[in-house]
Amino acid sequence: MAKKGKKSGEELFEEYYASRWEERWDSLKASLFEEVSHYSLTENLEQAYYLDEASLYPPKELDVQEGESVLDMCAAPGGKSLILATTLKGSGSLTVNDLSPDRRRRLRQVMENHLRPEWQGNIRYTGYDGSLWYRHEPDWYDKILLDAPCSSERHVLNSPEHLKKWTPGRIKSLAPRQFALLCSALETVKPGGLIVYSTCALAAEENDLIIERLHKKRKGRFTVEPTLFTAGEETRYGRHILPDRDGAGPIYYCRIRRLS
């Protein structure tokens, strides 16, 4: 229980999101308690993999072509990596990275259990801190998917333990990490290459405001491109798929083309 005079995590969470989503918050919040309707990914897989339908969009927006070099910077457990791998069909190269050893083990399992053996030879598994990647492989990849660690409000709301501990500090500490990952991706993709930045966060601080900051700090180095698909709602820089209106998500994504 919260101490007298001190707001509980649940109260802080409510206050924070209600003030941002205003009259939409009640329906948005209710939709986050509803079970995710899982999409069954089967095309070109050995067995079906289930994921939120909104998760299909970030890897599809990367528009991967056979023969390209692709980095999935925060890849575990691997639903989006599977989509990238089935697009490459064993050609080019796919580096699937995740900092967490446990999640990396799960990632390898997912790839090995679902992907055709003949499409596994081009895959490299790594466990680096993505925010430092640019030091090792600058100007390296044709395309990068950066599905960043984020607030995951759906998860927080559905976990009493996480909700109890929630403070706005959670967003404040995640946003600089997300920004560092994006800056690193910008140096790691080749000039002319494409990054898709995505999160499953509701908070604009982790979505459009990260891109806004990139505009301020890396002016002239990139351009935001229109998305290929029109799922969800248009935001300043990308799109947001939200469960109250789309029955899937939350997923935010934005396409960033490196210029120089």
Ligand X SMILES: C[S@@+](CC[C@H](N)C(=O)[O-])C[C@H]1O[C@@H](n2cnc3c(N)ncnc32)[C@H](O)[C@@H]1O
Among residues 76 and 210, whose Cβ is nearest to ligand X? 76
Q: Does 100 bind ligand X (CB under 6 A)?
A: yes
Residue 92 touching ligand X (CB under 6 A): no
Long-range contacts of 77-81 (CB under 8 A, 24+ apart): 77/103, 77/106, 77/107, 77/110, 78/106, 78/107, 78/110, 78/111, 79/41, 79/49, 79/51, 79/55, 79/110, 80/55, 80/145, 80/147, 81/107, 81/110, 81/111
Helix axes 208-217, 169-188, angle to 10 degrees: 50
Interface residue with ligand X among 52, 56, 57, 79 (CB under 6 A) is: 79
**Does 18 interact with ligand X (rule: CB under 6 A)?**
no
Residues 140-169, one symbol each (x = binds ligand X by CB under 6 A, - = not), give -------x-x--------------------
Among 77, 193, 238, 243, binds ligand X (CB under 6 A): 77
Residue 21 CB-half CA count within 13 A: 18
Q: Does 14 bind ligand X (CB under 6 A)?
A: no
Binding-site size for ligand X (CB under 6 A) equals 19
Say which residue the tokens 């925060």 belong to: 74
Residue among 241, 245, 242 nearest 60 (CA) = 241
Q: Residues 14, 63, 129, 233: which binds ligand X (CB under 6 A)?
A: 129
Binding of ligand X at residue 78 (CB under 6 A)?
yes
Among 71, 74, 157, 254, binds ligand X (CB under 6 A): 74
CB of 54 to ligand X, least distance (A): 11
Cα 26 to Cα 6: distance, rounded to the nearest angstrom: 24
Active site residue 74: no
Q: Which of 150, 183, 200, 254 is catalytic?
A: 200
Nearer to ligand X, 2 or 253 (CB): 253
- In the complex with ligand X, the residue whose CB is nearer, 103 or 213, is 103
Which residue from 103, 164, 215, 257 is in contact with ligand X, where contact means CB under 6 A? 103
Residues ≥6 apart with Cβ < 8 Å to 2: 8, 9, 11
